[in-house]
Copies of this chain bind each other. A is one copy, B any other.
Amino acid sequence: MKEKVVLAYSGGLDTSVLIPWLKENYDYDVIAVCINVGQDAELIGLEERALKMGVSKVYVENVKDEFMKDYVFPMIQSGAIYESKYYLGTSIARAVIAKTLVKIAEKEGAVAICHGCTGKGNDQIRFELGIAALAPHLKVIAPWRIWDISSREEEIAYLEERGLEIPVKKDDSYSRDRNMWHISHEGLDLEDPWNAPLYDKILKLGVSPEQAPDEPTYITLTFTEGMPTHLNGEEMDPSHLLEKLNELGGANGIGIEDIVENRVVGMKSRGVYETPGGTILYKAHEELEHLTLDRETYRFKQEVALEYADLIYNGKWFTPLREALGAFVTSTQKVVTGEVKLKLYKGNVIPQGSQSPYSLYSENLASFTTGDLYDHHDATGFINLYGLPLKVRALMEASHKNNN
């Protein structure tokens, strides 16, 4: 019996060509695994195509709920954003995909996992670090770092030579990665950062602010311990909640980012990201944290968010540090329960009020009036001590001036 390789298969040209290549170069049985993290439409007919290409087995795994609950929602809670703009849509999906590939590889007794990532990107790192952490004995095959094929044309020729069907790539323009959380766009005119993005041509999940309706959309989101649970008062499971928000966000031109970012492998790249529903969720969650977290927790959590984002971006989800930061975040979320009203309008997510049973806001305290809890005179003492180090230093300096 032949040894088996699990192939991360998308149905597109780049991963289809790996099937004959793996069989010829390694003499493996190829098990194609397509992991559904929300690219749904791309999955139609996929199984049949894979079998025609010569795989011995096909898995199509729907992990959408797991993706939301165990990866995306904890990330929202953490507040992680990479380099001020990127909601980590591709990065976070790689973690759940790596985990699922490993699961199937172990079930099938495969000896290797193969992926179709290029040698210049971040995704190869995310897959391979995930596999290293979860199944260190598995071999990883990354053909794009090994073989001589170096263009789309050569891929097509490779398949034609073998009489195999050429997958129709639905879109032959930008390089894209899509899942239920986001879609990314790279390449073509975006490769010059001086070019403005051609949003009319680029966008897939929604429209630009200019194309959005003139009437705003009002929504209410409910969170329980940092987890979004209801939209407009209706309880929804994670996937449906996000799908609905993607629809509303996309229609209102929300969640479009254009970024020049630093890749793990050392160079800058430029991309456009659409995260319509995700942007709404991040902003809603933040509103509730403003209301319920105390100052010092909020402040340190900002540093944790920076680190958490790095870990996700760098492919280090399955690490002790990510787990420990996760424990920190979970602890802070006990009070992040309540409702947030938002207005969606032409690219804007405008807060319309929020409330929480754990709100630390006290109208009584905030207002001008003196109440039980606050005595204006206390401020004098507070300021005197708070400013004491500045005064001590200034007096020291003054004494030097006087001596000269």
Contacts and interface: CB of A to CB of B under 8 A. Distances in A.
Contacts of A385: 265-266, 378-379, 382
A392 B267 contact: yes
A332 interface: yes
Nearest to A83: B298
A21 to B, nearest CB: 16
B196 A352 contact: yes
A163 interface: no
B345 A321 contact: no
B321 A294 contact: yes
A303 B374 CA distance: 33
A107 interface: no
A297 B269 contact: no
Contacts of A366: 120, 191, 267-270
16 contacts: A129-B390, A210-B216, A265-B382, A269-B366, A296-B319, A297-B321, A299-B306, A300-B307, A303-B303, A303-B306, A323-B331, A347-B347, A358-B396, A377-B381, A380-B381, A381-B382
Interface of A: 83-84, 118-120, 124-125, 128-129, 132-137, 142, 144-145, 150, 175, 187, 191-196, 209-210, 216, 258-262, 264-270, 286-287, 290-291, 293-303, 306-307, 310-311, 315-316, 318-321, 323-332, 334-335, 341, 343, 345-348, 350-355, 357-363, 365-370, 373-396, 398, 400
